[in-house]
Amino acid sequence: MECNTETNKLFNSKISMNTYLIIFKTSGKKLLFKYNLNGFLIAFKTDLVMTKEGVDYLCKHFPFELDQLQFFRTHKEFRVEEVKQDLSFQTFWNTYKHKVGNKPRAEKLWNALSETDKAKAISYIATYNNHLLNNQGIQKLYPETYLNQKRFDNE
């Protein structure tokens, strides 16, 4: 795959939408892969102690893109499970941690969002909080303002 600015922008996107757990059937060891909305890998975690052979094997089949998980789905040694992201209003409300303003209006705005926008809204909260920490004096938006103005689309 040729890398260009657009590819790098998509790959570096912080918005996660799809998370998959690959479990080794014999050992129960796990590999966790998170992909952004464009299907590019954004995070990888494992509880494996990797040997050279294991690293070589994984490097040959490493799923940098979502559709590359097919190898693990068809292999008898592995079980692949999708980890569903909780896109409920309560998850947003608890993650946003600024319980002010009109909660029923915020919930109504939340319910009007697409699943993709809900995922983006929750995922962007950490980035938004870091922005506030680095820019002292800026007040945190009320939750309904954050949703209504789609501040989670800010890059």
The residue ranges of every structural domain in the chain are 5-83, 89-153
Q: Which residue has the higher pLDDT, 28 or 100?
A: 100
Q: At residue 4, does pLDDT exceed 60?
A: no
pTM of the model: 0.57
- The region that residue 126 occupies, defined by phi over 0 for left and psi between -120 and 50 for alpha, beta otherwise, is alpha
Q: What's the pLDDT at 155?
A: 59
Q: Which residue has the higher pLDDT, 16 or 35?
A: 35
Q: At residue 33, does pLDDT exceed 80?
A: yes
Cα–Cα distances in Å, from 50 out to 29, 30, 31, 47, 53?
A: 11, 12, 11, 9, 8
Paired tokens of 91: 């998850």
Q: What's the pLDDT at 10?
A: 40
Task: State pLDDT tens for residues 74-117.
Answer: 999 999 988 888 889 999 999 999 999 999 999 999 999 988 78
Torsion angles phi and psi, residue 12, rounded to 5: -85, 0
